[in-house]
Amino acid sequence: MPVPQQRDPDLTRERLTAWLSARLPGATDLRTRVEVPEGLGFSNETLLVDAVWEENGTARARRLVVRVAPTRYQVLPGSRLAEEYRVLSALRDTDVPVPGVLGFEPDPGPLGAAFLAMDRVSGWVPPDLPSYHRPGGPLAALAGPERAAVWWAGVEVLHRVHRLDVTELGLDGLRDSPHGPGGLTRQLDHYETHLDHFGGGTPVTADALRLLRDGLPPEPAAPSLLWGDARLGNLLLDGVAPAAVLDWEMVFLGPGEADLAWYLYFDRHLSEGVGVPRLPGLPGRAETVHRYEELSGRSVAHHLDWFEVFAGFRFALIAARVGRLLVEHGLVADAADVPLARNAERLLARTLTALS
C-alpha cells in the first residue's frame, strides 16, 4: 500500500529549476517537467524530473529522480540521504552499477526537507507488491532459465559489493553512522534503542532479540560494505542483467552474510510469508548459499541461521512501523488490518520455532 504524497507541482518545479541552474554550469534556457507520483512506497518521497537546456549551442537533457527525506511517513529512525549520496558517489567507478548522482541538498528550504538528485536509469524491477512470485508479473513472464539469471544477478551484485575495499572507497565513516552503525552488536543496540520508534516490539521480536544476543557470531576483521536492503525489488534490470543497485538507506559495515540472509529472507517473505508458491526456476536456499560461497571463496553456512533471524527481526520491526504509520495517518483503522506487519511477525515466529 503506497502512501500518498502531497506537493504543489508548480512550486516544486520552480524551486527545482532554480536548484538545478546552480548545478549545471553553462546551462541556458533550463526547463523542467516534474512528476509528483501519487504514491511510491513507505520511505523517501520520490519526484521524477525531466530537465532540458542549451549548453554552448547544444541541446542537453537529463532524466532525474529526486528523493526527498521523509517528514511525515518516516519508517526508519532517521534520514540517511547524505550517507546514500556518499555511497553512490564512492561506487561510481566500481563494477557495482549505481545511478549517477547530481547532488545532495541538506537545506530543507527548497523542498521542505533535504533531498538527493540522481540519474533515472531505465529498466524493470521485480515487484514486492504484488509479490514477484505471483502469476502475471514481469518475473513470472520470463522462462525458467531467465528467472534463474535474474536471481543470480542479485547474488553477483552482493559479491561485487562485499569484495570492495571500504577504506579505498573512503567509507570508513559508516562505522560510526548514527542511523546504521557498523558491526553486529552495534546494529542490535541501534534497533533495541529505537524500539519505541518501531512500536515497542512484541513478544516475538523480544524472543528474536534474546536469541541474537545469546548467539552473536564473531565479527569479521575487515567488515564489508553492505547494501542493507538487499533484495530483488531494489535491483533495476536491463533484461536479466543488473542496470542499477537502488536504495542504500540500510547500508552498514559488517559481514556479507547479513546481506545474503536478507536477500534469502525477503524472498521467503514474498513467497511463504504471503502464501504464494515460489516461482519455478528460481534457485533455492542451498544453491544460493553454495554460489555465494564459490564467489566469495569462504564458507558462510555455519552462522546463516543467525543472520536470517537478524533479517527477520529487523523486517518485523520495520513492517510494524509501517502499520503504525498507516494507522496514525488514518489510512487504515487498525494495525491488525495491515498484512505486511502481520505476515512479517508470523514468518519470524515460524523461523524461531524451526530453530528451537
CATH of the domain at 166: 3.90.1200.10
Q: What is the pLDDT of residues 137-175, one digit of tens each?
A: 999 999 999 999 999 999 999 999 999 999 999 999 999
Does residue 2 lie within any of the structural domains? Answer: no
- Write the DSSP assignment of 238-249 as a string of letters: ETTEEEEE---T
- Write the DSSP assignment of 156-193 as a string of letters: HHHHHHHTS-HHHHT-GGGGG-SSS-SSHHHHHHHHHH
The total number of structural domains in the chain stands at 2
| CATH code, domain with 96 | 3.30.200.20
Does residue 202 lie within any of the structural domains? Answer: yes
Location of C-alpha cell 571463496: 297
* Domain range for 60: 9-119
Q: What is the pLDDT of residues 205-227, one digit of tens each?
A: 999 999 999 999 999 999 999 99
C-alpha cell, 45: 518521497
Say if residue 322 is in the same domain as residue 175.
yes
- Phi/psi at 34 (5° precision): -115, 125
Q: What is the pLDDT of residues 245-283, one digit of tens each?
A: 999 999 999 999 999 999 999 999 999 999 999 999 999
Q: What is the pLDDT of residues 90-116, one digit of tens each?
A: 999 999 999 999 999 999 999 999 999
Residue 187 has pLDDT above 50, yes or no: yes
The reported pLDDT for the residue numbered 4 is 47
The reported pLDDT for the residue numbered 6 is 62
Location of C-alpha cell 538528485: 117
Say if residue 148 is in the same domain as residue 106.
no
The reported pLDDT for the residue numbered 5 is 53
Q: What is the pLDDT of residues 55-100, one digit of tens each?
A: 998 999 999 999 999 887 789 999 999 999 999 999 999 999 999 9
Say if residue 180 is in the same domain as residue 257.
yes
Say if residue 161 is in the same domain as residue 110.
no
Contact 175, 182 (CB under 8 A): yes
What predicted TM-score, i.e. pTM, was given to this entire model? 0.94
C-alpha cell, 76: 526508519
